[in-house]
Structure 1
Amino acid sequence: MTLKSNQTAIVMLGASGAVGTETLQALLQLKNIPQLTILGRSPIPNVSGATVQQQKINIMDVSSYQNYLKGHTAAICTLGVGEPSKISKEEFIKIDKTAVLDFAVACKNSGIKHFELLASVDINPKSKSFYLRVKGELVAELKALNFDRLSIFQPSMILTPHNRYGIAQAISLKVWPLLKPLLMGKFRKYRGIPVRVLGQAIAKNIFIKGTSFELLQWDEFYALAEKE
């Protein structure tokens, strides 16, 4: 299936992070979007265009951005804490769950039909892992909103060109690609994914037909990224 040109107006939250940056660049290259609205705490430099709008908002205050959602048909959320272990559990929930859910509810109330979320592999509302449980609870609440289409992206290790978070990430970025031949069958979903491929997948998925609820993992990322 090839990408289709349509009249999908997109609003995006979280475009300044590693995945968000790649997703945004992929969207800008597609050139078939009548309107792209970027919401964030500060403008992203060197991003402009006749169809691009940047709006400075407070991610914890729906009233600061709810009026910017009108007229859009799809939303992309890549908002999240880069290093959850470096902040309190309360702060993690505030950003990665509450702010995202508030955004999703506002999107639903504004008539947005398709919502895409950057999540993680193995999320589960009953997980013993705090991080995976919170993410799982979030997705369960998003499903309850009954979007026409809900797309959940579930990467394992995200492979970035540069180490952003210290020695632990440096080791992971070196070791994870070496594990690829060992991660076969049901373990393929744990393969590391280059951040550029993931960004391309999130962007291009907007323009193909999907199911009402879809979980996308390593194989789907590459299949989407390769579409023209």
Structure 2
Amino acid sequence: MAGKRHIAIAGASGLVGNAILRNALEDPSIEEVHVLCRQPLTVSHPKLLEHQVDFQLIPPLPEINEVYLAVGTTMHQAGSRAAFRAVDLTINLAVAQAARAAGAQRIGLVSAMAANPKSPFFYNRVKGELEAALTDLSPDGLVIARPSMLLGDREALGQPIRASETLTRYASRVVWPLIPQHYRPIQAQKVARALLHHVPTTDQTIILRSGEMQTA
């Protein structure tokens, strides 16, 4: 498989994950795109291979080079801290472990701007714990995207529109020059492009903040 990019994506139904999927399908350097999902996708493509899985028991994966982790929820949608951790940490880590077993040497992660395993805030702490757990897997390269407020068409993906994102989108048009670079809202498309650009060539752990992804 030398020289050929075979990638896996988890979370392709989400805002960033879907952008990663669509960009990957258009990327001529990527030969196969394996998507792990619970429900059938609405996308078809000659190099797309869909794997409907139970994330509690992921079967052995085909040989891959890279894995992109974009599974996530909100505290409101999860309903409890345990349920939130089971999605954002447990599922992403299980996919990463399965991908490493299938030969993946590089990992791309959609994390959160304030991720920190020692954070007093549960959401940020879980995100930080996942980053630490992925580091412990010792991949050749780990690219962690820490976006600020994400922008994109959630309605087109069948997701509820978040009032906070709508308010931020309109407010930022007025005060954009005053917002520090790393705190400005960012399009999910830019996060996806930044990950797909950095993951295949990175031989260390790097963190991409919003300001660094705005030009992707």
Residue 177 of structure 1 contacts residue 192 of structure 1 at CA under 8 Å; is this kept in 2? no
2:192 maps to which residue? 199
The equivalent position to 1:38 in structure 2, one of 32, 35, 39, is 35
Q: How does 1:89-104 map to 2 (within 5 A)?
A: 89-104=81-96
Partner of 2:139, secondary structure, is coil
Match of 1:71 among 41, 60, 63: 63
- Is 1:106 the counterpart of 2:98? The answer is yes
Check whether the contact 1:74–1:114 (CA below 8 A) recurs between aligned residues: yes
Deviation (angstroms), 1:47? 2.0
Give a deviation string over 1:44-90, Cα, whole Å, max 9, x none: 113221x221111112222xx3x22x310100111111x32332111
Matches within 5 A, 1:109-120: 109-120=101-112
Secondary structure of 1:168 counterpart: helix
TM-score normalised by L of structure 2 = 0.89
Could you tell me how far apart the structure 2 residues matched to 1:165 and 1:84 are?
A: 15
Query: Alignment partner of 1:34: what SS?
Result: strand
Deviates more, 1:91-100 or 1:193-202: 193-202
**Cα distance change of structure 1 residues 54 and 162 upon mapping to structure 2, 3 Å threshold:** closer
Mapped pair 1:175 → 2:171: yes
Q: CA deviation at 1:41?
A: 0.6
Aligned partners of 1:211, 1:122: CA distance in 2, in Å? 24
Cα distance, 1:172 vs structure 2: 2.6
Is the 1:24–1:203 Cα contact (8 Å) retained in structure 2? no
Matched, 1:85 2:76: yes
Kept after mapping to 2: 8 A contact 1:180/1:192: no
The corresponding residue for 1:24 is 21
Q: State the one-letter code of the partner of 2:75.
A: P
Q: 1:172, 1:183 → 2: CA distance?
A: 11
More strand by share: 2
Alpha-carbon deviation of 1:182?
1.5
- Aligned pairs for 1:160-171 (under 5 A) are 160-161=152-153, 164-171=160-167
Deviation at 1:135, TM superposition (A): 0.5
Tell me: higher relative CO, structure 1 or 2? Use CA pairs within 8 A at least 6 residues apart: 1
For residues 182 and 192 of structure 1, the distance between their equivalents in structure 2, rounded to whole angstroms, comes to 12
Look up the match of 2:57. 61
Q: 2: distance between equivalents of 1:182 and 1:37?
A: 41
Identity fraction in percent: 26
| Counterparts of 1:119 and 1:177, CA distance in 2 | 25
Task: Work out whether residues 119 and 152 of structure 1, in 8 Å CA contact, stay in contact via their aligned partners in 2.
Answer: yes
In structure 2, the gaps of 5 or more residues are none
| In 2, Cα distance between equivalents of 1:127 and 1:178 | 31
Give deviations 1:173-223, integer Å, cap 9, x for gaps: 322444431223xxx21111012222222223234x324101011233134
What secondary structure is seen at the aligned counterpart in 1 of 2:31?
A: coil
- When normalised by structure 1's length, the TM-score is 0.84
Q: How many residues align?
A: 209
